[in-house]
Amino acid sequence: MTRSLAFAAFTVALAAPPVRPQTPSFEVASVKPVTGGDLETRFKRSGGRVTWTTDFWYLIGYAYHLPLARISGAIPAEASIYRVEAKTAPSVTDAQLRQMFQSLLRDRFQLSAHVTTREENGYALSVGKKGLKIHAAQPDDPPPPLPEWSRGTAAADFESHISATLPGKGLGAITGRRVSFSQLAETLQIVLQAPVWDRTGIPGNYYFGFKYAAKDDPEVDAPTLAGALQEYLGLKLERQKGPVEFLVVDHIDREAAEN
């Protein structure tokens, strides 16, 4: 090869666009509108099979890891309910599954959106002065019994999940089954209807369950939410202001593309 040809080949190689990693997507996915179905706020997953009867709000919220209050834009006012049935490898993580739902929304509904950030009042979740009162679950640790307000259900269905419930008049309860403090912060956002930042800086997954006085009702025989976090977990909840991301939907088709 002559010097001029070698130089030409070198410049072509430099000009070639970089190879971008492909966004994960489902192996197979079916999306169909349904009528008269009950809307589910959380999908069901069994091995590599994922099923969900829901609407755009919950699909987008899960896919982009945002509470519904931080989503706005061109979503149809009377959005349909859809039945999603998808298949993927049983080993995919929650983060990968979120990306797969993003791909589904782009491919089937032509979703386009952008993110904006602004300062908002919220709460910081951190470790109290006396340290944590619970220990991280080890891989071989057997799951402890469910708290009394959750008994009667299969413990395996709760594993790796966190839930906020109302077990009695004026009472709230939060139950975590091998979950992280970042997952706890996400749940607190729903309960408080405000941003919650995980400032614990502690990894690992935990089992916990506690009750608190919903709406800080002084007549309820239970601590406030902030008091319960301190009393049972050793965590501190303090008001704070910080950056919050919002998703603005620019376009989304009402009808899904062909399966």
pLDDT in tens, 53-78: 999 999 999 999 998 889 999 888 77
Q: Which residue has the higher pLDDT, 113 or 259?
A: 113
Per-residue pLDDT at 248 exceeds 60: yes
Q: Who contacts 2 (Cβ-Cβ below 8 Å, separation ≥6)?
A: none
Domain ranges of the chain: 28-109, 119-244
Task: Write down the pLDDT at residue 136.
Answer: 96
The closest of 64, 116, 59 to 83, measured between CA atoms, is 59
Collapsing DSSP to helix, strand or coil, 42 comes out as coil
pLDDT interval class at 149 (50, 70, 90): confident
Side chain identity at 218, as an amino acid letter?
P
Report the distance separating Cα 213 and Cα 210, nearest Å: 11
CA atoms within 13 A on the CB side of 175: 20
Task: Write down the pLDDT at residue 253.
Answer: 92
Residues forming a β-bridge with 173: 165, 211
**Token duo for residue 71:** 């989503």
pLDDT in tens, 167-192: 888 999 999 999 999 999 999 998 99
Mean pLDDT of all residues in 94-111 = 94
Task: Write down the pLDDT at residue 184.
Answer: 96
Query: What is the H or E stretch that residue 71 is in?
Result: strand 71-73
Task: Write down the pLDDT at residue 50.
Answer: 94
Per-residue pLDDT at 31 exceeds 80: yes
Mean pLDDT of all residues in 37-62 = 90
Per-residue pLDDT at 22 exceeds 70: no
**Would the CA dihedral through 239, 240, 245, 247 be positive or negative?**
positive
Task: Write down the pLDDT at residue 257.
Answer: 84
